[in-house]
Chain A
Amino acid sequence: MLEVSNISVAYGKHLAVDSIGLRVAPGEIALILGANGSGKTSLLKAIAGMQPATGASVRLAGRELAGLPAHTIVEAGLALVPEGRGVFGELTVRENLELGAFAKRARPAEAKNLRHVLELFPRLGERLAQQVRTMSGGEQQMVAVGRALMSAPEILLLDEPSLGLSPLMCKELFAALARIRDKGLGILLVEQNAKRSLAIADRGYLIANGRIVGDGSAASLRDDPAVQRAYLGAAEPGRAMPPPDGA
């Protein structure tokens, strides 16, 4: 169980994340929906220790992680697939996956996790010797998710994994995420693709200007007219409402 409370991120005077709290249980997908610039990336980076945060408590299985360096947080069982993937493009698929298991916690189950990842993304198995830089965006995203899974995490954070993927790739990726959840991992998913992500998520949070402005089960969010207006492109009866930027 990941429990985050009162986390804030400031860039100079600008407060990008304003005292957010959330939790992710094992075996569930918690979704974060929010417009561009609402602070989603800052929030995930702060939880993963990649971005300094203030006043936060980040507890994983009861252990306090706030303030620890990012590499130690991975060791504690929390893995981030960042915006833009963060794969090692110069290295091969095999080397990327091998580095995924760099954490000591990942070593005992490394062979099993590798089998699991290759089962989830069979395409990676065919491309083990390929330099990641030369792969398609969707394949690179699979490397990023696979690499994160190799660290044997309890909680997986994903920042817009479907960005730039074709509908088919996107479907494949989301099916994989659902299977990862079914194995008992907790997933915190940031997405712009509200329709697809609400279809696999269990719960969701709405975030605007760095604050949580709503939350609920995936079903209740799907039926919420405000959500439909803002993220699902539905028009209000009577007048047409354009969706906000980028949604």
Chain B
Amino acid sequence: MFTAALTSGLVLGGMYALIAMGLTLQYGVARIMNLAHGELMIAAAFAALWLFTSAAVNPLLGLLIIVPAAFAISGTIYRLLLTPLVRRAPNRDALEVDSILATFGMLFVIQGIMLVMFGGAYFSYSFLAFPVTIAGATVAANRLLALAFAAVIGLALYLYLTRTRLGTAVRAVAVDPQSAPLVAIDVRATAALAFAFGGALVAAAGVLVSMFLTFNANIGVVFTMKALIVVIMGGVGNLLGCLVAGLILGLAETFVATFVDPGLTLATTYALFLIILLVRPQGLFGTASR
């Protein structure tokens, strides 16, 4: 039972980490606190469901369609809806407040569209649901696959941001947007790129989650909340912090649900969050740029 909880916890934590990385990229670089983040994730989950059930496209192929689409859609949202806010904001703090209001509205629009299309019922589909035995515990193959994909995507993002010049430019905008133009960085274009990347990440998480969790049109906000907690726990703008905090949260929730009481998972989440806020308000690793 311990190993089973451990693997489930890692899988869940990996998903949290991926979702939070998307949010921290959008917030850290573009200064958009995107409250509709979880909605995009659930939209991606529905897209994967639809592709699988009506077009027999398996979700891993679905990633190849849905992730680029989410990148394009997020980029468009930034250009059409958020650029006017960016232009108008006298400083980045004002932009933060405006973006919270705007994306809060967006949350209900996307959720409303999904409710009209799918209603409030829970959905799931069965893809690679056969059990696999590792270290004495049985886990569904789709969960292991989701964890592997999350690890690969997270690692690729980390390498991109730390090992390439464009990635370094993205970090430069995160740490010092005033100075970035001095080295020919177009801050607005970089922010749009980071926002689009954040959307692509959360859509990838949505597709992966849809392989093993049941979901409905209302559930996005739960993931936004958890992503926020992970981002703050790990330190704003800190990708490695997201990874560690995401895994901690996933493991804590699963262990409490398995060994104490499933009803206490949400309480665990907030207890962890409170402890970190009290003990290390800057997050586990501070707001470093890596």
Q: Which residues does A use to contact B, with CB under 8 Å?
A: 48-50, 69-72, 74-75, 79-80, 82, 86-91, 95, 98-104, 106, 147-148, 151
Contacts and interface: CB of A to CB of B under 8 A. Distances in A.
Main secondary structure of the interface of B (DSSP, over half): helix
Contact of B183 (A89, A90, A151): A151
B181 A50 contact: yes
Given A82-B182, A99-B185, A103-B183, 7 more contacts: A74-B183, A79-B182, A80-B182, A86-B182, A91-B171, A102-B169, A147-B182
Contact of B179 (A79, A88, A103): A88
B93 interface: no
A102 B181 contact: no
B182 A91 contact: no
A82 B168 CA distance: 21
24 contacts: A49-B181, A50-B182, A71-B181, A71-B184, A71-B187, A75-B184, A86-B178, A86-B179, A88-B175, A89-B175, A89-B176, A90-B171, A90-B288, A91-B171, A91-B172, A91-B289, A95-B172, A98-B168, A99-B172, A101-B165, A102-B185, A103-B183, A151-B183, A151-B184
A89 B178 CA distance: 13
B224 to A, nearest CB: 27
B186 A69 contact: yes
A90 B182 contact: no
Contacts of B171: 90-91
A112 to B, nearest CB: 17
A91 B162 CA distance: 10
Contact of B176 (A50, A74, A88): A88
A102 B179 contact: no
B181 A74 contact: yes
Nearest to B289: A90
Nearest to A87: B179
Contact of B186 (A71, A79, A82, A147): A71
Max chain B C-beta neighbours (<10 A), residue from A49, A82, A86, A90 = A90
A85 B116 CA distance: 54
Contacts of B184: 71-72, 74-75, 102-104, 106, 151
A99 B178 contact: no
5 cross-chain pairs, A with B, having the tightest CB-CB distances, nearest first: A103-B184, A70-B181, A86-B179, A74-B184, A90-B289
Contacts of B288: 90
Interface string B180-222: 1111111100000000000000000000000000000000000
Contact of A102 (B165, B178, B289): B165
Contact of A91 (B175, B181, B185): B175
Contacts of B169: 99, 102
A25 to B, nearest CB: 23
Nearest to A95: B168
B165 A98 contact: yes
A42 to B, nearest CB: 15
Nearest to A81: B182
Nearest to B290: A90
Interface in B135-180: 165, 168-169, 171-172, 175-176, 178-180
A100 B172 CA distance: 11
B183 A82 contact: no
A210 B181 CA distance: 25
Nearest to B162: A95
Contact of A74 (B175, B182, B187, B289): B182
A72 B165 CA distance: 18
A148 B181 CA distance: 12
Contacts of B183: 74, 99-100, 102-103, 147, 151
